[in-house]
Amino acid sequence: MYRPLFAVIDLAHLSHNIRYLKSRLRPGTSLMVAVKADAYGHGVRAVVGRLVREGVHHLAVASVEEALEIRAFHRGVNILVLGAVTPDACVKAAEAEVEIALTDLSPIEHIPRLPKRLRVHLPLDTGMNRLGVKRTDEAVALARSIAAREDLELVGAGTHLAAADAEDPAHAEGQMDRLGAFVRALEDAGLRPPRVHAGNSAALLRNPAWHLDMVRVGIAAYGYSPDPSVLPAPSLRPVMSLYGGVLRVAEAQPGETVGYGATFAVQRPMTIATVAGGYADGYPRQLSNRGEVLIGGELRPVIGRVCMDQLMVDATGLEAAAGDIAALFGYDPPVAWRGGWWSRLRPEERAARVQETYRMASNVEKRRVLSLDRLAERAQTIPYEILCRVHRRVPRVVCD
């Protein structure tokens, strides 16, 4: 670690969130955690390791590639590929004992026998209009064809709720009603699979009647409500914090401007801190002149346009120094990281020192949080997108 920019992945908070979410589940409902897109940007290996320790048996990914990445270090856990699959992906999934969602049998119609029994879910389109079977008779016919093949096993049926976090639950209720019709038709045909699922984080937080046999939770595991204005979840703790080092502190006078396009005009004598982290790292450029950074124990505004690799902050009146660490989002940096801390460390000891000191001020959870909810709103996006887009050039320091 030479460049002072890193994300802390707090596994204790992941554990806390999983325990909290389990406590909200209807008894008998299983928890599936979505770990697609490198576990929403957190790093799939560390996240899966911790989820398994927390007794999570079901994971969801978007592609067979993502499933195989997990299989390379974990054999025991169930993995469901949510996305559409090609014939070769079906063969790979069967070999790796990964579950897939099949909208029809066309991907495997020319494969007389898969190398191993493939476990299949029926994707049911109840109102999202994205993927899945739209009619109940189609679903029953597909379930029948699956039952007729010895190399397939029907283990689940699921739908995806488009608006479970909307203020008005009517859209989600409508989808649940249509799912009910699918399930009754499958039951009547004697083909109801063991796991029927619909819920995401919003459904889990909102209504136990939407939990069914399994809930597929994503964003809440990583510490955010899908929409805090409708579903406040103050018990959740952000798992990722993004930290950037102060690269330079300089004075500026009225008449000067800051950054590309000279969009910020200095009106009074001020101190400007240049902080590592830009849009190439995943910090949204939409936060130019709109973002906030936790620096020197205070929330301070981003001034000027966010650059590819740096951003500038109004640090007037702060005791900020080059080599301090600021939070671009997440928990306030420990006080130990001030006073030019980073530059005094040797590169090879930095990750270990971050791990040692991150929790040193004891309760991380009592520290101030720069919530992604607030930043995402200002960037006209959602925490999901910002988390997934933290670039792979940003080292993830896993803390416990």
Ligand X SMILES: Cc1ncc(COP(=O)(O)O)c(C=O)c1O
| Active site (catalytic) residues | 36, 260
205, 225 contact by CB (below 8 A) = yes
Q: Which of 238, 296 has the CB closer to ligand X?
A: 238
Rounded to whole angstroms, the Cα distance separating 266 from 289 reads 12
Q: Does 132 bind ligand X (CB under 6 A)?
A: no
Window 222-261: contact mask with ligand X (x via CB under 6 A)? ----x-----------------------------------
Binding residues for ligand X restricted to 305-344, rule: CB under 6 A: none
* Residue 218 touching ligand X (CB under 6 A): yes
Taking CB under 6 A as the binding criterion, the range among 44-52, 213-221, 302-310, 351-359 that sits at the site for ligand X is: 213-221
Residues 6 or more apart whose CB falls under 8 angstroms from that of 14 comprise 42, 47, 50, 51, 54, 221, 222, 239
Task: Answer yes or no: are the C-beta atoms of 304 and 258 closer than 8 Å.
Answer: yes
User: Is residue 201 part of the contact set for ligand X (CB under 6 A)?
Assistant: yes
Please select the residue that binds ligand X; options are 200, 225, 274, 288, rule is CB under 6 A: 200
The answer to whether the annotation marks 308 as part of a ligand binding site is yes
By the 8 A CB rule, do 278 and 260 touch? Answer: no
Determine if residue 188 is left, alpha or beta; phi over 0 gives left, psi from -120 to 50 gives alpha, anything else beta. Answer: alpha
Q: In whole angstroms, what is the distance from residue 399 CA to residue 332 CA?
A: 15
Binding residues for ligand X, rule CB under 6 A, total 11
CB of 82 to ligand X, least distance (A): 5
| Interaction of residue 61 with ligand X, rule CB under 6 A | no
Cα 381 → chain centroid: 14
Q: Give Rg (Cα) of the chain.
A: 24
Distance in angstroms (rounded) separating the CA atoms of residues 274 and 57:
44
Q: Which of residues 31-50 bind ligand X (CB under 6 A)?
A: 34
Which single residue brings its beta carbon nearest to ligand X? Answer: 218
Q: Which of 286, 383, 297, 288 is nearest to 332 (CA)?
A: 297
Site string for ligand X, 62-91 (x = CB under 6 A): --------------------x---------
**Among the candidate windows 72-80, 102-110, 219-227, 290-298, which touches ligand X by CB under 6 A?**
219-227
Number of neighbours of residue 380 by Cβ within 10 angstroms: 10
CA 275 to CA 287: how far, in whole Å? 14
113 annotated ligand binder: no
Cβ proximity to ligand X, 82 vs 240, nearer residue: 82
Q: Which of residues 358-387 bind ligand X (CB under 6 A)?
A: none
How far apart are CB 210 and ligand X at their closest, in Å?
A: 12
Helix (H, G, I), strand (E, B) or coil at 132: coil
Contact segment (CB under 6 A) with ligand X among 19-27, 43-51, 212-220, 229-237 equals 212-220
Q: CB atoms < 10 A from the CB of 228, how many?
A: 17
Question: Where is the binding site for substrate, in residues?
Answer: 130, 308
Q: Which residues bind ligand X (CB under 6 A)?
A: 34, 82, 160, 200-201, 216-220, 226
Binding residues: 130, 308
